Structure 1
Amino acid sequence: MRHPDSPVLAEGPPGGSAPLTTLAGPQASGTLRRRRLLLLAAALVTCAGFAAGLVAVLGAGGLDALDLALLALCLVALPWTVLGFWHALIGLWLLRAGPAGLAAAAPFAAAGERPEPPRLRTAVVMTLRNEEPERALARLRVVQESLARTGHGAWFGFHVLSDTDDPAIAAREEACLAAWRAALPPAEAARLHYRRRAENAGFKAGNLQDFCARAEEELMLPLDADSLMTGEAILLLVRIVQAHPRIGILQGLVVGAPAESPFTRLFQFGMRHGMRPYSLAMAWWSGECGPFWGHNALLRIAPFAAACRLPVLRPGRFGGPILSHDQVEAVLMRRAGYEVRLLPLETGSFEENPPTLLDHLARDARWCQGNLQYVRLLRLPGLLAVSRVQLLWAILMFCGAPATLLVLLLLPWRLLDLPRETPAGLAAALYLAWLALSVAPKAAGYAEVLARRDTARHGGLLPFLAGILAETLFSFLLYGIAMLRLSVVVVRLLLGRRPVWGRQRRDAAGVTLGAAIRGLADVVLIGAGLGLAVGLVAPGLLPWLAPLLLGPLLAVPLAVLTASPRLGARMRRLRLCATPEEIAPPEEIRAMRAGSDPAPVGRPA
Structure 2
Amino acid sequence: MDGVIHPTAEWHHLPTAAPLPMPVQSLRQAPAPGPTARPSAPRWMALRRFLVLGGAVALTAFGAWEMAQVLDVSRPTAIQLVLLGLFVALFGWIALSFLSALAGFGSLLAGGGRRLGIDPAAPIPDLHDRTALLMPVYNEPPERVMAGLQAIHESLAATGRGANFDIFILSDTTDPDAWVAEEAAFLALRERTGDHAHIFYRRRPKNHERKAGNIAEWVQRFGGAYPQMLVLDADSVMEGDALVRLAAAMEAHPDVGLIQTLPVIVNGNSFFARMQQFAGRVYGPMIAAGIAWWHGAEGNYWGHNAIIRTRAFADHAGLPTLRGPKPFGGHILSHDFVEAALLRRAGWAVHMVPALRGSYEESPPSLTELAVRDRRWCQGNLQHAAVLGARGLHPISRLHLFTGIGSYITAPLWLLFLVVGVFGALEVRFIRPNYFPSGPSLFPEWPVVDPVRAMWLFIGTMALLLVPKLLAWFLLLLNPEERRGIGGTVRSFLSMLVETLVAGLLAPVTMLTQSVDVASIITGRDSGWQPQQRDDGTLGWQTVFRLYWRHTLFGLLFGAASWLVSPYLALWMLPVTLGLALAVPLAALTARRATWLRQIGLLAIPEESAPPAVLNRSNTIRRRLMEQARPMEAVQRLAADPALRDAHLAMLPPPRRPRLDPLDPALLLGCAKLEEAEDLDGALATLTRAEKAAVLGDSGGVARLLNLTSSPRPGEPAVPRSAAMAD
- Determine if the TM-score, normalized by the shorter chain, exceeds 0.5: yes
**In structure 1, which of residues 265, 269, 274 is the aligned counterpart of residue 274 of structure 2?**
265
1:83 aligns with 2:93: no
Structure 1 counterpart of 2:209, one-letter code: G
Pairwise CA distance, 1:585:
1.0
Q: How far 1:498 moved relative to its partner?
A: 2.1
CA distance in 2, matches of 1:444, 1:179: 47
- Which of 186, 190, 201 lines up with 1:181 in the alignment? 190
CA distance in 1 between counterparts of 2:547 and 2:423 reads: 30
- Report the equivalent of 2:438: none
Take 1:293 and 1:82, find their aligned partners in 2: how far apart are those partners?
23
* Corresponding residue for residue 228 of structure 2: 219
In 1, are the aligned partners of 2:52 and 2:103 still within 8 Å (CA)? no
After superposition, residues 566-577 of structure 1 pair within 5 angstroms as: 568-577=594-603
1:76-155 matches, within 5 Å, as 76-98=89-111, 101-102=112-113, 106=115, 108-110=117-119, 113=122, 115-155=124-164
Residue 110 of structure 1 and its aligned partner are, at CA, apart by 4.3
Structure 2 counterpart of 1:424, from 451, 456, 460: 451
The correspondence of residues 189-588 of structure 1 with structure 2, limited to 5 A, is: 189-215=196-222, 216-316=225-325, 318-418=328-428, 421-452=448-479, 454-565=482-593, 568-588=594-614
What's the CA shift for 1:598? 6.8
Cα displacement (A) at 1:51: 1.0
Distance in 2, matches of 1:182 and 1:311, equals 40
Is the deviation greater in 78-87 or in 157-166?
A: 78-87
The aligned counterpart of 2:688 is: none
Partners in 2 of 1:595 and 1:571 — Cα distance?
25
Rounded to whole Å, the distance in 2 between the matches of 1:586 and 1:471 is 24
Q: Matches of 1:111 and 1:361 in 2, distance apart?
A: 36
For 1:51 and 1:591, locate their aligned partners in 2 and report how far apart those are by CA, in whole Å: 53
Could you tell me which amino acid in structure 2 is paired with residue 68 of structure 1? L
Distance in 1 separating the partners of 2:426 and 2:330: 44
TM value normalised by structure 1? 0.92
Greater alpha carbon shift after TM alignment, 349-358 vs 503-512: 503-512
Structure 1 position 113, deviation (Å): 3.2
**Structure 1 position 493, deviation (Å):** 1.1
| Shift, 1:58, TM fit | 2.2
In 1, are the aligned partners of 2:39 and 2:297 still within 8 Å (CA)?
A: no
Per-residue Cα deviation, 1:542-572 (whole angstroms, up to 9, x for no partner): 232233232211111111211222xx11011
CA contact (8 A) 2:103 2:290 kept: yes
For residues 95-140 of structure 1, give each alpha carbon's deviation from its aligned partner in whole angstroms, at most 9, with x where no partner exists: 1112xx235xx35434983542111111111101111122222111
Distance 1:254 1:528 in 2: 39
Secondary structure, aligned partner of 1:503: coil
Specify whether residues 529 and 593 from structure 1 end up closer, same or farther in structure 2 by C-alpha distance, changes over 3 A only: same
Q: Distance in 1 between matches of 2:575 and 2:117?
A: 42
Could you tell me which amino acid in structure 1 is paired with residue 591 of structure 2?
A
Does the 8 Å contact 1:47/1:79 carry over to 2?
A: yes
1:439 and 1:197 map into 2 onto residues whose CA distance is 47
More deviation, 413-422/395-404: 413-422
Tell me the TM-score normalized by structure 2.
0.77
Distance 2:119 2:280 in 1: 26
Give the Cα–Cα distance (whole angstroms) in 2 for the partners of residues 220 and 386 of structure 1: 25
Q: Secondary structure at the match of 2:292?
A: helix
CA distance in 2, matches of 1:309, 1:441: 38
Partner deviation per Cα, 1:209-263 (whole Å, 9 max, x = no partner) = 1101122211111111111111111112112111111111000111111321111
* Change in CA separation of 1:412 and 1:183 when aligned onto 2, cut-off 3 Å: closer
Deviation string, structure 1 residues 129-185 (Cα, Å, up to 9, x no partner): 111122222111111111111111111101011111111111111111122223343
Residues 84, 440 of structure 1: 8 Å contact kept: no
- Give the match for residue 18 of structure 1: 36
Q: State the secondary structure of the residue aligned to 1:290.
A: coil
Q: Which residue of 1 aligns with 2:722?
A: none
Q: Which deviates more, 68-77 or 331-340?
A: 68-77
What one-letter code is carried by the residue in structure 2 that aligns with 1:95?
L
Task: Tell me, yes or no, if the aligned pair for 2:116 and 2:249 is still in contact at 8 Å.
Answer: no
Give secondary structure in 2 for the equivalent of 1:399.
helix
Question: Shift of residue 347 of structure 1?
Answer: 0.5
User: Per the alignment, in what secondary structure is the counterpart of residue 166 of structure 2?
Assistant: strand
Partner-residue secondary structure (3-state), 2:68: helix
Partner of 1:59: 72
Counterpart CA distance in 2 for 1:33 and 1:551 is: 42
Q: Is the 8 A contact 1:289 1:339 kept in 2?
A: yes
Bigger Cα Rg = 2
Offset at residue 62 of structure 1 (A): 2.3
Aligned counterparts of 2:589 and 2:629: Cα–Cα separation in 1: 34
Q: Match of 1:299, SS?
A: strand
* Uncovered stretches (5+) of structure 1, i.e. residues with no partner: none
Specify which of 81, 86, 89 is matched with residue 73 of structure 1.
86
Q: 1:563/1:449 Cα in 2 relative to 1: closer, same or farther (>3 Å)?
A: same
- The residue that corresponds to 2:179 in the other structure is 170
- The residue identity in structure 2 corresponding to 1:65 is A
CA contact (8 A) 2:150 2:193 kept: no
Q: Compute the displacement of 1:79 (Å).
A: 2.8
1:417 positional shift? 2.4
Q: CA deviation at 1:40?
A: 1.3
Deviations 1:383-427 (A, max 9, x none): 112211221122111121111100111222111122752111222
Structure 2: how far apart are the matches of 1:164 and 1:583? Answer: 35
Contact (CA 8 Å) 1:219, 1:300: kept in 2 or not? yes
Report the residue type matching 2:381 in the other structure.
N
> In structure 2, do the counterparts of structure 1 residues 545 and 17 end up closer, same or farther at CA, with 3 Å as the change threshold?
farther
* Aligned CA-pair RMSD: 2.3
Closer, same or farther: CA 16–44 of 1 in aligned 2, 3 Å: farther
Aligned AA for 2:472?
G
Q: 1:192 to 1:127 in 2, by over 3 A?
A: same
Amino acid at match of 1:44: V
Deviates more, 1:301-310 or 1:555-564: 555-564
Residue 346 of structure 1: how far off its partner (Å):
5.0
Distance 1:102 1:256 in 2: 19
Amino acid at match of 1:262: F
Pick the structure with more helix per residue: 1
In 2, the alpha carbon distance for the partners of 1:448 and 1:483 equals: 30
The 1:304–1:122 alpha-carbon spacing in structure 2 relative to 1, beyond 3 Å, is: same
TM-superposed deviation, 1:441? 3.3
Which residue in the other structure is 1:602 paired with? Answer: 630
**Aligned residue number for residue 38 of structure 1:** 51
Identical-residue share of aligned pairs (%): 37
Q: What SS does the corresponding residue of 2:350 show, helix, strand or coil?
A: strand
Aligned equivalents of 2:290 and 2:109: distance in 1?
12
Structure 1 residue 451: Cα displacement: 4.1
> Does the 8 A contact of 1:158 with 1:193 survive in 2?
yes
- Name which of structure 1's ranges 42-51 and 76-85 shifts more when overlaid on structure 2: 76-85
Letter in 1 for 2:97: G
Change (3 A) 1:412 1:133: same
Cα distance between partner residues in 2 of 1:598 and 1:121: 30
Across the two proteins, how many residue pairs are aligned to each other? 585
* Inter-CA distance 271–543: structure 2 relative to 1 (3 Å threshold): farther
